[in-house]
Amino acid sequence: MSTQSQKAYLAGVYHHDPNFDINSDVAKLTKISGFPEWLPEQRMAEEALIDKIRAIFRSHGFCPIETPAVELLSTLLNKGEIDKEVYSIKRYHAKDVDEAEFGLHFDLTVPLARYVAQHFANLSFPFKRYQIQKVWRGERPQKGRFREFYQCDIDIIGRDSLPIACDAEVIDAMNMVVMALGVGKHKVRLNNRKLLLGIYASLGLSEAEAKQVVVAVDKLSKIGKDGVSRELADKGIENEAIGKILELTDIRIIPGEAEYILGQLEVKNRSFEEGKSEILELLGILSDAALAHLEVDLSLARGLDYYTGSILEMVLVNHPEFGSVASGGRYDDLASRFINKKLPGVGVSFGLSRFLDLAFSEKLIATDRKSPSQVLVTVAAEEGRKEANLLADSIRMNGLACEVFYAAPRLGKQIDYASAKGMRYVLFLGEGAQLEVKDLKTKEQVKISDLEGWCRDVLGGLS
Amino acid sequence: MSTQSQKAYLAGVYHHDPNFDINSDVAKLTKISGFPEWLPEQRMAEEALIDKIRAIFRSHGFCPIETPAVELLSTLLNKGEIDKEVYSIKRYHAKDVDEAEFGLHFDLTVPLARYVAQHFANLSFPFKRYQIQKVWRGERPQKGRFREFYQCDIDIIGRDSLPIACDAEVIDAMNMVVMALGVGKHKVRLNNRKLLLGIYASLGLSEAEAKQVVVAVDKLSKIGKDGVSRELADKGIENEAIGKILELTDIRIIPGEAEYILGQLEVKNRSFEEGKSEILELLGILSDAALAHLEVDLSLARGLDYYTGSILEMVLVNHPEFGSVASGGRYDDLASRFINKKLPGVGVSFGLSRFLDLAFSEKLIATDRKSPSQVLVTVAAEEGRKEANLLADSIRMNGLACEVFYAAPRLGKQIDYASAKGMRYVLFLGEGAQLEVKDLKTKEQVKISDLEGWCRDVLGGLS
């Protein structure tokens, strides 16, 4: 777009330009890469999925919280590499150039830690919360990676200590969410940071080296064994240790064999023993629904440095291109930056926007309804509008979404409208309040004598 | 907080500081004025209200959309005074200081106009959408005015033309929302821009002067008649005209008398005639539920310059301090900045955060539940946890939200937890799967032989 046409646009005169072309200029001008925006039929599917996820979280007793999009930059910019992705905000017309002291949150975990510290006196512990919100990251956008996206998080925060039963609870609940996606089999990959660090220590690595190994192994699926090997050699890790580290990443254990196979590793140190005991305790509590999809996967490392115990990822078996749709783990010390208390936690996060983007493009989720309306009430003449509105209100009272046609053209045009928006039923109000309905699916048209009964039947058929 | 303790905080060492005091330092550090954040029990009420509002919007056939928080600054910064309140965003570590080209949306109307233009080819018209999202404004925070807040908008956008029936539809739907708030009587104040501009023209004012009058009259409730009078005099409006303009602001008309009283004004010009005819047509279509609360109020002006027809506000009769809880109107030309099409629209916006803030502080909304859980399953000993989890899953399958106690201390402690979180029922799993329930409200404890039946009874009692 030329500077001149840009100016014309900003001056709001585009509708006077005879060369204006909706298919090129508008789209080019307004699409902001990395900020997904769905069509109504996609947003309908997104809302339905959020409702389903929320219902699962609530059924497990997680309470809702929502934090502002905005945090103090000092809250967001701690250690860790993620700080480079923060968006800062300031008033556009701020006079003080240094005004920027706020940023948009890049995840829901840091805001949770700050929330728990700030509202500590008003919360009941263990504090179980769900949080379904957008987060922002100033990353380079690419397929499946956004700069604005939804996360759906559950976490349990304890005072001083938190039983492994809570690890089981977040995994069980998120396992139900992934089952509810309706996109085929999934796998729960489980590991434990203490177990990993114990193994690395038994290879003679220092604590600092062991942490570097975690970061390198986390990249396995991206850079392969060769890549991990090179990265470890660069850090000065001995070849023999590298060989053993890579061997380890081949180990997958079904729940029933975990005790035996972890025992075979013959590692003897406290970190390993604790990790092993935590995994075994967790496997003893998890629901059969989760265990059926679970394997202990010693290649799972999770890059973030705050994990201290269980770590996990959920992946779709038939859609490896989705990567991990949910992930999380146990952290002992996330809120101590904000409060002089020990508040260990465990949580899992589901990446909704990324999942939906792929599910839409692979047509895994139906998007055939452009409107929530199930019923259109037609209007034969404007004089009948008020009566039609009254009828629509009765239909709404009986639980169906309904609209009245906005004008009174020939009925064929009104039926086309209902059809275009995916409504199934079209109602005609005749003389003496006589009512007929056309079912656009079966093409049948019948009289309705009992409106309440008819609504009940439709509702029953829909549920 | 000193620079030194600030540094200590940022270094994450606060938990080593013996002088750390949760009640002062944490709160001072983290509370960001103007960005409301609710406790879980308040967020439960907010979610319940959003669900209710959404159900009303959907029942009227409005479809959901959601736009990114972020728009191009060129989209946000058009004419109008609101541009000074825009927050711009940029990557914190951006090298290019001029990078800022994005801003946070300050309402949902500009994003809607951009959305309709951008997705024009994929939408069915009239396009009826609801949008429930946060918006951001860099205003000075004060009681009831936030920098981040929820708006709940419905709009109908037509192609080329849009019948007055659509004005009725958005008003009827929003009228149901305000009734559903459960905070007593409300009033719908209705006026029409064409009617007002016609009257001002009949007083000899130019179109530009008439628009200045609209802006001044809009401030009536804030600055009073004297203030409006001074402002009009400053603009060079004659005293006689000012007198008539102020007289006009005293006129309130019940629907049944609108035709007669508007006729009495004896204004003869096209703008007035059109406005009058639009009002009368609208009054002929609106639901009785809306008409019962409605008055034509000639003091209503609405400051925003894009309104071209109906304008309205909804206020709470017993809570004038809430101001207008919902407001909106008809605009003919909002999207023409973005697209070479005539797309008239009509919409109403409900200010959720502002309403909730006042409703919470005046205790108009119950916030007695800290958790969605209705049932706690107790755990007598850790060996019984898996069985307790299975029981909880059955309860969830039967529609109740349920959690299992996270440890196995004495039962009294578990009951205290249920009570603190507002759960009514506590279940005990005894020998041979024998089940008992304690109702914390009635204090009764009984055996459960038929779990499904019991869940159904509880659900029935709750609904």
Query: Is residue A426 scored above 70 in pLDDT?
Result: yes
Round the average pLDDT of chain A to a whole number and report it: 89
Query: Is residue B2 scored above 50 in pLDDT?
Result: no
A&B contacts, CB < 8 Å: 324
pLDDT at residue A142 in the model? 77
State the greatest distance between any 2 C-alpha atoms of chain B, in Å, as a whole number. Answer: 91
Tell me what the mean pLDDT of segment A100-126 comes to.
Answer: 92
Of A377, A431, A435, A427, the residue nearest A407 (C-alpha): A377
Query: Is residue A2 scored above 70 in pLDDT?
Result: no
| Cα separations in angstroms, A208 against A213, A232, B454 | 9, 13, 56
Query: Is residue B10 scored above 60 in pLDDT?
Result: no
Portion of chain A with pLDDT greater than 90, in percent: 77
Query: Is residue B166 scored above 90 in pLDDT?
Result: yes
Please tell me the least confidently modeled range out of A66-70, A304-308, A456-460, B436-440. A304-308
Residue A402: list chain B partners with CB under 8 A.
Answer: 59-61
Residue A121: list chain B partners with CB under 8 A.
Answer: 22-23
Report CB contact under 8 Å: A74, B156: no
Report CB contact under 8 Å: B91, A118: no
Report CB contact under 8 Å: A30, B400: no
pLDDT at residue B336 in the model? 84
Query: Is residue A313 scored above 60 in pLDDT?
Result: yes
Task: Please tell me the distance from the alpha carbon of residue A286 to that of residue A167, in angstroms, as a whole number.
Answer: 9
pLDDT digits (tens, 9 = 90+) for B192-217: 999 999 999 999 999 999 999 999 99
Select from B14, B78, B118 the Cβ nearest to the Cβ of A27: B118
For residue B93, the SS3 value is: coil
Query: Is residue B6 scored above 70 in pLDDT?
Result: no
pLDDT at residue B140 in the model? 80
Tokens of B359: 């409703």
Question: Which has the higher per-residue pLDDT, A8 or B164?
Answer: B164
For residue B18, the SS3 value is: coil
Q: What is the H or E stretch that residue B458 is in?
A: helix B451-462
Which chain B residue has its CA at the smallest distance from A399's CA?
A: B59
Q: What is the H or E stretch that residue B103 is in?
A: strand B102-104
Query: Is residue A390 scored above 90 in pLDDT?
Result: yes
Select from B75, B156, B165 the Cβ nearest to the Cβ of A30: B75
Tell me what the mean pLDDT of segment B101-126 comes to.
Answer: 93
Tell me what the mean pLDDT of segment B244-273 comes to.
Answer: 96
Report CB contact under 8 Å: B168, A123: no
| Cα separations in angstroms, B321 against B163, B224, B225, B299, B353 | 34, 16, 19, 18, 15
Residue A131: list chain B partners with CB under 8 A.
Answer: none
pLDDT digits (tens, 9 = 90+) for A263-291: 999 899 999 999 999 999 999 999 999 99
Select from A117, A163, A287 the Cβ nearest to the Cβ of B389: A287
Which chain A residue has its CA at the smallest distance from B281's CA?
A: A382
Please tell me the least confidently modeled range out of A6-20, A374-388, B185-199. A6-20
pLDDT at residue A16 in the model? 34
Name the band, by pLDDT with cuts 50, 70 and 90, for residue A33.
confident
Query: Nearest-CA distance from B260 to chain A in Å?
Result: 21
Residue A152: list chain B partners with CB under 8 A.
Answer: none
pLDDT digits (tens, 9 = 90+) for A144-201: 789 999 999 999 999 999 999 999 999 999 999 999 999 999 999 999 999 999 999 9
Any bridge partners for residue A124, and if so which?
none
Tell me what the mean pLDDT of segment A91-117 comes to.
Answer: 84
Residue B373: list chain A partners with CB under 8 A.
Answer: 61
Query: Is residue B85 scored above 90 in pLDDT?
Result: no
Residue B30: list chain A partners with CB under 8 A.
Answer: 72, 75, 114, 117-118, 338
pLDDT at residue A104 in the model? 96
Query: Is residue B27 scored above 50 in pLDDT?
Result: no
Tokens of B288: 């009785």
Written as one string, the DSSP assignment of A144-185 is TB-SEEEEEEEEEE-SS---HHHHHHHHHHHHHHHHHT-SS-
List Cβ neighbours of B8 (8 Å cut-off, separation of 6 or more). Answer: B14, B17
pLDDT at residue A325 in the model? 96
Report CB contact under 8 Å: A87, B83: no
Portion of chain A with pLDDT greater than 70, in percent: 90
pLDDT at residue A27 in the model? 43
For residue A2, the SS3 value is: coil
Query: Is residue B21 scored above 80 in pLDDT?
Result: no
Contact A322, A25 (CB under 8 A): no
Q: Where are any strands of DSSP class E within B408-453? A: 425-429, 435-439, 445-448
Query: Nearest-CA distance from B277 to chain A in Å?
Result: 15
Residue A400: list chain B partners with CB under 8 A.
Answer: 59
Helix runs in B157-253, H state only: 164-180, 193-202, 207-217, 220-234, 239-248
Report CB contact under 8 Å: A117, B26: yes
Round the average pLDDT of chain B to a whole number and report it: 89
Tell me what the mean pLDDT of segment B150-172 comes to.
Answer: 97
pLDDT digits (tens, 9 = 90+) for A209-263: 999 999 999 999 889 999 999 999 999 999 999 999 999 999 999 999 999 999 9
Name the band, by pLDDT with cuts 50, 70 and 90, for residue A83.
low
Question: Which has the higher per-residue pLDDT, A435 or B461?
Answer: A435
Helix runs in A286-319, H state only: 288-291
Query: Is residue A90 scored above 50 in pLDDT?
Result: yes
- Helix orientation angle between B385-397 and A164-180, rounded to the nearest 10 degrees: 30
Query: Is residue A18 scored above 50 in pLDDT?
Result: no
pLDDT at residue B122 in the model? 93
Question: Which has the higher per-residue pLDDT, A7 or B447?
Answer: B447
Contact A169, B402 (CB under 8 A): no
Name the band, by pLDDT with cuts 50, 70 and 90, for residue B337.
confident
pLDDT digits (tens, 9 = 90+) for B298-331: 999 998 778 999 999 999 999 998 899 999 999 9
pLDDT at residue A80 in the model? 46
Portion of chain B with pLDDT greater than 90, in percent: 77
Tell me what the mean pLDDT of segment A79-101 comes to.
Answer: 70
pLDDT at residue B97 in the model? 55
Please tell me the least confidently modeled range out of B128-137, B143-152, B237-246, B347-356. B143-152
Residue B66: list chain A partners with CB under 8 A.
Answer: 37-38, 43, 46
Tell me what the mean pLDDT of segment B440-462 comes to.
Answer: 93
- β-sheet with A127-136: strand ranges across: A63-64, A127-136, A148-157, A345-351, A324-331, A310-316, A186-192, A294-297, A252-253
pLDDT at residue A98 in the model? 55
Report CB contact under 8 Å: A65, B74: no
- Most B CBs within 10 A among A19, A20, A21, A30, hence the mutation to make, goes to A30
Report CB contact under 8 Å: B124, A84: no
Select from B85, B92, B339 the Cβ nearest to the Cβ of A88: B92
Contact A435, A452 (CB under 8 A): no
The interface predicted TM-score of the complex, written ipTM, equals: 0.91
Report CB contact under 8 Å: A69, B118: no
Residue A5: list chain B partners with CB under 8 A.
Answer: none
Name the band, by pLDDT with cuts 50, 70 and 90, for residue B394.
very high
pLDDT at residue B433 in the model? 78
